[in-house]
A and B are shown apart, each in its own frame.
Chain A
Amino acid sequence: MTEAAAVEATSSHTPLDTAAASVLAPSRTAIDASVRPVVIGLFLTATVWLLLSTLLGALAAVKLDHPGFLNFSFLTYGRLAPAAENTFLFGWCGTAALGVGAWIIARTSGRVSPGQPLAAFGAVLWNGGVLVGLVATLGGWLRPLNGLEYPLASYVMLFAGLALFSTWVLLTFNDEEHHSLAAMFIMAAFLWLGLSLLTGNLLIATNSVTGVVQQIVAAWTAGAVSRLFLVPIALGTACYIIPKVSGAPIIAGSFARVMFWMYFICAGLSLAAKVPGDLLPLWLGATAASASILIVVPVAALVYILFASASAGHHGAGSPSLRFTIFGCGGLVLSSLLIAFSSIRSVDSVLRFTLFDFGVHSLLIHVSVTMVLFGAIYYMMPRLSECEWLSSSLISFHFLGAAYGSSMAVGMLLLSGLAAGEAISEGASSFEQVMEVGSSYFWGNSISFLLVLAGHAAFGLHFLLMALKIGQPAGEPTLLRAGSEH
């Protein structure tokens, strides 16, 4: 492929964009202008949360190996780990997902978004919820609900922000046309997250469910944030970005829609698997484990379809968006395979409660979803800020840190979990011996975080320059070295 073709494919005027634009529809420039302040604001705050949560995550990783390091009450591992994870989940992934989702809905609907103040207020509330959650968790006002550690006040703000923001997206959503797969995934994700946050927190806060059912509801709600909001947003984003960049439409559209529904049914039934089997009714444990295994089918099928589209296209060589998105999609398949693997009863009995669980979660969120979100931001920002990324070297460095650093951290967590799981299954070994085996990989995890932090810092700097409209003087799309993306 020639450089010129690649430039055409990744510039803001792709052939598909042109074909999609109706004569009567508002221009892409007008659509982008209608979402610009809110979406750039969301990306800016998401980047701040990304850097902060990665820093806290790095500190937590160091503390695994050196528990006495910075030993203050607000920085104990017990508070730091949930604070870092939830802030990464809601602050970075959630905030960026709101921005990406809103822009793609505006573009696919071909409508100028009305009511920006509504969205802006929603975004402020959402970010306020993250701030309250982070401060409260570090301050010790956390809930002992796995994945829902932020206090209730934080979830009230997150839900209120999401409700306002979703209303804005709904006003933009064109319900009359035949929707793209991307729009279906994104609207479904917004709807599920709202329903889930509301129902789950209400059930727990009002003690409508008690005892172990509270943990089941927590697993159902927290799991929905990952599997029914962030993963669908990532899949929907990939469904939008890959055809746009590669220049080839998604093949097997009807089959992909069947996989869409299969994904939501399986993911919706898989969430209780996060609760230990002995605490669940037998049928529920079996259903959740089976659904966790079946998820592999729609995820692998959808990613295969996306990869086929990427390879069928004649554009996109050197596109940073494509490189990040494809890496993230590959991670989604690997994550779903590992989730299926760890759902097998005999495997679960060995690996449950080890760092293997956190490794799989990290692969899903810190690698897969995160890389797709980066890919989307690399694609969207030149269109929103009307300037091109300044440096391909910074993007390459970011990819190095984000992709390889995060993958290395995941690898260390998985290996540590496997080693500790095997040792803990031997009743003859003392717990101290178990931890000694598992901790052999902690240093690698800490080093990986340094790489991740450096990569994300490069992205933060680059994004700031972009927000200030400091980009390529020539206005040419910034490409990585052509042909090196696969």
Chain B
Amino acid sequence: MSHSGIIFPGIIACFAVSLAATVIIPNSQLGSLSPEIKEEDGRFVDAYPVADLSLAARGKEVYVSQGCQSCHTQVVRGNDTADVERGWGVRKTVPRDYLFENPPLVGAGRLGPDLANVGSTAWRNEPADDPYKPVKRDAAWQMLHLYHPTAVSKLSNMPSYSFLFQKHRIAGSGDKDALTNLPKTLLPEDGFEIVPSADVKALVAYLLSLDRSHSLKEAPAVAASAPAHK
């Protein structure tokens, strides 16, 4: 057989080695993971992670559809790293965290902060004297952030997702979900209100569901679950 006569079998062999090493063997290791179940005295205490069938699941679809993963990762890297120090998580993210995510939203880059634990109350360690440090990042804060990012984070480079909101004429006592925390400069004209769409409500539910601070055997929490010194 001439040297060149082995192109096809040779390339198929290289492909098979690549497939085995990169997919088949890792899948046999990572594909058999299951939720970590905690029991005390034979009684079930809790399990992590759990499949999400709620509004947040719809919110994940909105997150993907808007391309949020192009700018936000959902992976805290390493335990002794700036990620943990910055308050993006209390421990590194591991494959078990993504057990029910097909696919997991690891993200393409960090043009915005990591969101692996954005729903955790301990997320981010802004300095105490930061004038933009929110009391808490609840649904109202997330809504305003999506509607007009620089209203809550002056240096934010995130585009406004105002197209996910509608301006409605106020009827009766108004919509119970209308934004009530708008700064004066963003208030609509008298008689109108800004109402979040179903998509943005689902998206906020998804963001608030993101909390991977549950301690795991292979990744015990290394940072306090409450905000650190700054």
Contact = CB atoms under 8 A, between A and B. Distances in A.
Q: Do A and B interact? A: yes
A178 B82 contact: no
B102 A191 contact: no
B137 to A, nearest CB: 14
Contact of A265 (B14, B102, B110, B155): B14
Majority secondary structure, B binding face: loop
A297 interface: no
B31 A210 contact: yes
Nearest to B79: A278
* B interface bracket (residues with beta carbon within 8 Å of A): 35 or more
Contact of A144 (B93, B103, B110): B103
Contacts of B67: 76-82, 140, 142
B185 interface: no
Nearest to A70: B159
Interface in A110-164: 140-146
Contacts of A67: 157-160
Contacts of B166: none
Interface stretch (A41-49, A329-337, A431-439): A431-439
Contacts of A220: 18-19, 22-23
Nearest to A439: B157
A261 B75 CA distance: 35
A278 B69 contact: no
Contact of B29 (A81, A141, A281): A281
Contact of B130 (A214, A277, A426, A430): A430
Interface stretch (A24-32, A192-200, A367-375, A402-410): A192-200
A430 B157 CA distance: 14
Contact of B104 (A140, A211, A272, A424): A211
A142 B61 CA distance: 10
Contact of B65 (A142, A261, A352): A142
A349 B81 contact: yes
A358 interface: yes
B70 interface: yes
Given A220-B22, A281-B26, A432-B156, A212 B11 contact: no
B92 interface: yes
Interface stretch (B2-10, B38-46, B203-211): B2-10
Contacts of B108: 81-82, 146
A216 B105 contact: no
Contacts of B159: 63, 67-68, 71, 76-77
B70 A78 contact: yes
A78 B103 contact: no
Nearest to B219: A278
| Interface-central residue, B12, B18, B71, by most chain A CB under 10 Å | B18
B163 to A, nearest CB: 5
Contacts of B8: 187, 191
A184 B78 CA distance: 42
B155 A436 contact: yes
A203 B14 CA distance: 19
A411 to B, nearest CB: 18
A183 B161 CA distance: 50
B30 A213 contact: yes
Contacts of B169: none
B188 interface: no
Given A78-B67, A184-B7, A269 B18 contact: yes
Contacts of B101: 211
B57 interface: no
A436 B157 CA distance: 9
B28 to A, nearest CB: 10
A215 B2 CA distance: 39
9 contacts: A67-B160, A77-B70, A141-B65, A143-B64, A175-B5, A184-B7, A216-B22, A424-B82, A435-B155
